[in-house]
Each structure stands twice: as C-alpha cells, then as structure tokens.
Amino acid sequence: MGKTNVLSKIRTFNGVNRPIYVLAGLAFLISVATLAKFNYITPLRFSDRFCNYHGSFDGDNYIIGSQMRKTIETAIFKIHQEMDDLKALEANSSSAPSSVSSASGSMFRHVAFLADVLSLVQSVHMDLPSFEERFVADHPLKQQNGDPGEHFMREEIKKYIKIKPNRLGKQNFMGANGTFTSIGHACFAMKKDLEEYMDYDVGEICNDDWRLAQKLMVHGCDPLPRRRCFSRGPQLYHKPFPINESLWKLPDNRNVRWGQYKCKNFACLASNTTARKGFFKCTDCFNLTHHESPRWLNRGEIDPETNQTADFSIAEVLEIKPGEIRIGLDFSIGTGTFAARMREQNVTIVSATINLGAPFNEMIALRGLVPLYLTVNQRLPFFDSTLDMIHTTRFLDGWIDLILLDFVLYDWDRVLRPGGLLWIDGFFCLKEDLSDYMEAFKALRYRRHKWVVVPKKDKDDKEVFFSAVLEKPPRPFR
Ligand SMILES: *[C@@H]1O[C@H](CO)[C@@H](O)[C@H](O)[C@H]1NC(C)=O
Ligand SMILES: *[C@@H]1O[C@H](CO)[C@@H](O)[C@H](O)[C@H]1NC(C)=O
Ligand SMILES: *[C@@H]1O[C@H](CO)[C@@H](O)[C@H](O)[C@H]1NC(C)=O
Ligand SMILES: *[C@@H]1O[C@H](CO)[C@@H](O)[C@H](O)[C@H]1NC(C)=O
Ligand SMILES: *[C@@H]1O[C@H](CO)[C@@H](O)[C@H](O)[C@H]1NC(C)=O
Ligand SMILES: *[C@@H]1O[C@H](CO)[C@@H](O)[C@H](O)[C@H]1NC(C)=O
Ligand SMILES: *[C@@H]1O[C@H](CO)[C@@H](O)[C@H](O)[C@H]1NC(C)=O
C-alpha cells in the first residue's frame, strides 16, 4: 500500500512539473511554426532574393519544414500518452479505497490542462503545410500560394489556369518549361461572373455574352481566360466594302450582332434624332458625313478670349515631324476616324477602344482599320520605344485618378520611341483640377510643341479643355 502511495506521489510530482515543460515546449513550437508559416506565405519574395540559390534554399526550407512537422507530431504523441497514463492512474486510485481525494482532483486538472495544450499544438500542426503541399508549393512548375484554380468550381477555369508543362519535359523555344496562362487578379473577386462566363460545353457555341466579358475586363478581370467554344458572330456576314469605299461609308448592318444594343442598325447610331443611342461622350461618332468627316482636317473654332483652339489639325501636327510619323496608337473611344484620316496620310494607326454602348470595334474593322480591344487596366501590348505617335481623345478626362494617369502616361512613354509624339487631344476637366493634371503631363519632361488651355463653353465655365502635342526626348545617358 505504502509503495503505491509513493509511486502515486512521484507521479503527481511529475504531473505538476510536466505541464511546465509542455508549456515551454509549446512556446518554442509555436514560434518556430509561425516563422515557417511566414516563409510559406512569402515564398515569392524569398525566391526573388535568393533566386541564385533557388534550389538549395527551397531544399533547406523543405527539410526544416519536414523536421518541424515530425517534432510536433512527436509532441502530440507524448501528450496523448501522458493523458492516457493519468487517466489510467486515476482509475487505479479511485478503485483503491484509501485514495486521497485531493490527488484525484489535481490529476483531473492536469488532464484538462493537457487536453487544452493538445488542442493548441494540434491547431499549429494543422496550419503547417503538409509534406505534399510543401513539396508542391516549392516546385518551380507550381504557382505560389497554393493552386489558384482551387478557388473556382468550374472545371474549365481550373484547366485554363493550370500550368501546362511542355511535352517531354524539355524547355520550349522560348526557354520556358511550361506555358503559364494567367488571368487578372480581380477575377477572384468576381468569381460568380467568371464562372458564368466559363459555363459552356467544349466545342459548342458560346453564349452571346460579350457584355459579361467586357464587364469582367472593365472591373479588372483582365486578361480574361480563353474559352474553348465558338464565339457567336453575325448570322449572315457580308463581305466588307473595298477599302476605297469602306473608310467613309456606314457598314452593312448584317455584319454586326445588335442584340445587346439600344440601336439595331448603323443608321440609328448615326442619326441625330435618336436619343441616348450609344456612348454619351461619342453620340455623333457614327455620323460620318457630318460629324466625323471634318474632324482633324482643319483647326477647330478659335476661342475669342485666348485666340487659341484645342482642336489641332492632323496636317499641323504631322508638320512637326515631316515624314517621320508612320505608326501609332489612338487611345480613344470612337469609330476610327482619326485612324482613317491618318491612313490618308499614309500613317498606320491602331485604334484602342472598347464597345461602350455601341459596336465601336466592329465599326472600326468594317471601315478597314485596325481595332484593338483593350481596357485602360492593361499594360499596352507594344514593346518599348516602338511607336511614332500616341493620340488620345475623349478618354482620359477629368474622371481619371491621378495615380492611374501616372501609370498610364509612363506606359505610353515606354512604348513611344525617342522623338515620338504624344498628342493629348481635348482633355477636359474641372478648372480646379487642371493644375494637378498638368503636373502629371509636365512630369514627363517632354518637349512642348503645342500646349493650349481654353475654357469649355457648354458647362457654365466650370470646365476647361487642355490640348498638347509633346515630343518624347531621347534619354541617352540614362
Ligand atoms: C493500475 O493497477 C493495475 C492493477 O491493479 C496495474 O496492473 C497497473 O499497472 C496500474 N496502472 C498504473 C498506471 O498504475
Ligand atoms: C526545365 O528545363 C531544363 C532544361 O531542359 C531542365 O534543366 C530543368 O530541370 C527543367 N526544370 C523543371 C522544373 O522541370
Ligand atoms: C474602288 O476600287 C475598285 C477597284 O479597286 C473600283 O472598281 C471601284 O470603282 C472603286 N470605288 C470607288 C468608289 O472609287
Ligand atoms: C448626321 O447628322 C446630320 C446633322 O446633324 C443629319 O442631317 C444627318 O441625317 C445625320 N446622318 C445620318 C446618317 O443620320
Ligand atoms: C438634326 O440635324 C438637322 C440638320 O442639321 C437639324 O435641323 C436638326 O435640328 C437636328 N436634330 C436634332 C435632334 O439635333
Ligand atoms: C490670334 O492669333 C493669330 C495667330 O495665331 C494672330 O495672327 C492674330 O493676330 C491673333 N489675334 C488676336 C486678336 O490676338
Ligand atoms: C501615300 O502613299 C501613296 C503611295 O505611295 C502616294 O501616292 C501618296 O501620295 C501618299 N500620300 C501622302 C499624303 O503622302
């Protein structure tokens, strides 16, 4: 009997001290695990910084991670063992009639304490990436931060996002081991719309959902995933007019799908009697004969106060660099008239626009010009220092955030060649905002060929027009 008492006392003594050891061990484990989690969450930065040691660094991480997992698993096993022991001991002492009630009470507390500790350690254990996850996350062919495809239910999205390793496991001619198809990060916030967009049967006809696609793009889901269905086109497509006619003639109505527009033909868009027909900034853009044909041919109306106009003619701008301007981009919303007039000067202009309320892209294409379906969210798909000119009108007006304007202007600067022209055509904003916007344009430090501010007459003198033709300087020493 005495022997049992001594034994139980030793056990109780141990039981008192063990929680302290366990606590200390737990503190250590949690701190190590937190560090590991930090590594796991920011592998991008780590691999950026250590890209030269990529393999070995990731390898070390992998070993540390697996060792830690083993340690924590051992700790969990030991706590389980201890709890079982204590329970058995309690059962023994309660069966013995002379058992001390206080010993049984403290034992119960220890068991409860250990159960607490166990749940904490187990939660850390669960947060640790498993062997497989860690291995996969560190694999160069695996996207960081887990598999983005997991976010989506639709199989086509998963399939699209998944990195496609090259056949035979070799590098392709571009020097990559796989093909990395990407989607805009805002797609994740627009899961429902994207899943609706990707809801189709492979090889079948897609839904008539270009508006949904455009909504996704405008809201940052850009690039959109590709689809494996046949897009809907006009039912009966008629060959476009020859180029000597198409530039200045309203196209055949049958060559456009009108389902999602208010107007159902080009005459409706061109007419000045149809109310609220297309995009409010470009209500007369389809009226080629009256509204569009005079644009950029002559200087605009002279403002009597300033004796200046914000509407320059193409001729006076091309005179700045005779014979040098051959290719360029028009970032506007319109029907391609600027590109048409430039074409007559033997200058090739690509017109970037989206379909806001009217089929602008189809119209430009049917006129025989090149439409570029592009939102303002995207980096321009041109290489550095390639274009002779960028022209913009009715697009970057007083609505645009100044930081965004900065990013846009620097991107334009990137694609303009040295000596290329940036033509800001009738940028308008509130008078009080003008100096902020001007700062953004001045920050480019371009040579000013034209720089004009005139009051905008139609809105109780609160707004102004700003137009400029600026030349990108060569930057030989930078
Ligand atoms: C409990 O008592 C049984 C016999 O009564 C003994 O075999 C066993 O080892 C005891 N367990 C502990 C944990 O003391
Ligand atoms: C990628 O390809 C190169 C060349 O074939 C090879 O050395 C490398 O191990 C490959 N990497 C992966 C992750 O497959
Ligand atoms: C356009 O060019 C074609 C030949 O290339 C010619 O037959 C046709 O008459 C021209 N149309 C106009 C309106 O000049
Ligand atoms: C274009 O506008 C003018 C004047 O606003 C109008 O007389 C003409 O009918 C319009 N063109 C078309 C095709 O509706
Ligand atoms: C359309 O244009 C014609 C001719 O220029 C003009 O008489 C008429 O008032 C215009 N209609 C509208 C609604 O602007
Ligand atoms: C307006 O500017 C033109 C040249 O741009 C000049 O010939 C003319 O005299 C000016 N008129 C006034 C009133 O300043
Ligand atoms: C455009 O090029 C054609 C053919 O080379 C030439 O005949 C025409 O004069 C050019 N037009 C202009 C405005 O330079």
Domain final residue pick, 98, 116, 137: 137
Helix (H, G, I), strand (E, B) or coil at 474: coil
Beta-carbon contacts of residue 387 (< 8 Å; ≥ 6 apart): 327, 328, 329, 415, 416, 417, 420
For residue 388 the two structure tokens come to 């002779």
Euclidean distance between the first and final Cα of the chain, in Å? Answer: 91
Domain final residue pick, 100, 119, 137: 137
Q: Examine residue 259 and state whether it is found in any structural domain, yes or no.
A: yes
- How confident is the model at residue 238, as a pLDDT? 95
The CA 221 to ligand 2 mean position distance, Å, reads 31
Q: Examine residue 113 and state whether it is found in any structural domain, yes or no.
A: yes
Q: How many helices (H) and strands (E) does the chain have?
A: 15, 9
Task: Assess whether 127 and 275 both reside in one domain.
Answer: no
- How confident is the model at residue 280, as a pLDDT? 76
Q: How many CA atoms lie within 13 A of 74 on its CB side?
A: 8
The CA 347 to ligand 2 mean position distance, Å, reads 45
Burial 356-388, CB ≥16 within 10 A → b, else e:
ebbbbbbbbbbbbbebbebebeeebebeebebb
The CA 89 to ligand 1 mean position distance, Å, reads 7
Q: Which amino acid is at 387?
A: L
| DSSP structure class, residue 447 | E
Domain final residue pick, 94, 111, 137: 137
The residue behind tokens 């009639």 is 97
Helix (H, G, I), strand (E, B) or coil at 136: helix
The CA 8 to ligand 1 mean position distance, Å, reads 11
Q: Which amino acid is at 210?
A: W
Nearest protein Cα to ligand 2, atom 11: 177
Nearest protein Cα to ligand 1, atom 1: 92
- How confident is the model at residue 97, as a pLDDT? 56
Helix (H) or strand (E) holding 138: helix 131-138
* Omega prior to 43 cis, within 30 of 0: no
- How confident is the model at residue 146, as a pLDDT? 60
For residue 71 the two structure tokens come to 């340690």
- How confident is the model at residue 27, as a pLDDT? 59
Contact by Cβ (8 Å): 218, 354: yes
For residue 133 the two structure tokens come to 């996850």
- How confident is the model at residue 6, as a pLDDT? 47
Neighbours of 18 (CB within 10 A): 19
- How confident is the model at residue 189, as a pLDDT? 93
Nearest protein Cα to ligand 1, atom 3: 92
- Identify which of 250, 289, 291 to mutate to test ligand 4's pocket (most ligand atoms within 8 A of the CB): 289
Q: Could you tell me if the CB of 272 is within 6 A of ligand 5?
A: yes
For residue 143 the two structure tokens come to 């996207």
- How confident is the model at residue 106, as a pLDDT? 75
Q: Examine residue 171 and state whether it is found in any structural domain, yes or no.
A: no
CATH of the domain at 329: 3.40.50.150
Q: What is the pTM of this model?
A: 0.70
Q: Could you tell me if the CB of 73 is within 6 A of ligand 3?
A: no
- How confident is the model at residue 141, as a pLDDT? 43
For residue 132 the two structure tokens come to 């497989």
Domain residues for the domain of 61 are 2-137
Q: Examine residue 426 and state whether it is found in any structural domain, yes or no.
A: yes
Nearest protein Cα to ligand 2, atom 13: 140
Contact by Cβ (8 Å): 371, 343: no
Residues with CB under 6 A from ligand 2: 140-141, 169-171, 177
Task: Assess whether 131 and 272 both reside in one domain.
Answer: no
Task: Assess whether 446 and 313 both reside in one domain.
Answer: yes
Nearest protein Cα to ligand 7, atom 10: 346
Q: Could you tell me if the CB of 94 is within 6 A of ligand 1?
A: no
Question: Is beta strand 178-179 parallel, antiparallel or unpaired with respect to 164-165?
Answer: antiparallel
345 CA: nearest ligand 7 atom: 13
> Total structural domains in the chain?
2
**Mind giving me the DSSP string for 271-288?**
-SSSSS-S-GGGTTTT-I
273 CA: nearest ligand 5 atom: 13
Q: Examine residue 412 and state whether it is found in any structural domain, yes or no.
A: yes
Contact by Cβ (8 Å): 291, 252: no
Q: One digit per residue, pLDDT tens: the chain, 478 residues?
A: 444 554 455 455 454 555 555 555 555 555 545 544 444 433 333 333 333 333 334 445 555 666 777 788 888 888 888 888 887 887 777 666 555 556 667 777 787 888 888 888 877 777 665 544 444 444 444 445 567 777 888 889 999 998 888 888 888 888 888 888 989 999 999 999 999 999 999 999 999 999 999 999 999 999 999 999 999 999 899 999 999 999 999 999 999 999 999 899 999 999 888 777 777 778 889 999 999 999 999 998 888 888 899 999 999 999 999 999 999 999 998 999 999 999 999 999 999 999 999 999 999 999 999 999 999 999 999 999 999 999 999 888 888 999 999 999 999 999 999 999 999 999 989 999 999 999 999 999 999 999 999 988 876 778 899 999 999 999 887 6
Nearest protein Cα to ligand 3, atom 10: 244
Nearest protein Cα to ligand 1, atom 10: 92
The CA 270 to ligand 2 mean position distance, Å, reads 58
Q: Examine residue 354 and state whether it is found in any structural domain, yes or no.
A: yes
Q: Examine residue 238 and state whether it is found in any structural domain, yes or no.
A: no
Q: Examine residue 286 and state whether it is found in any structural domain, yes or no.
A: yes
Nearest protein Cα to ligand 1, atom 6: 92
344 CA: nearest ligand 7 atom: 13
Task: Assess whether 106 and 255 both reside in one domain.
Answer: no
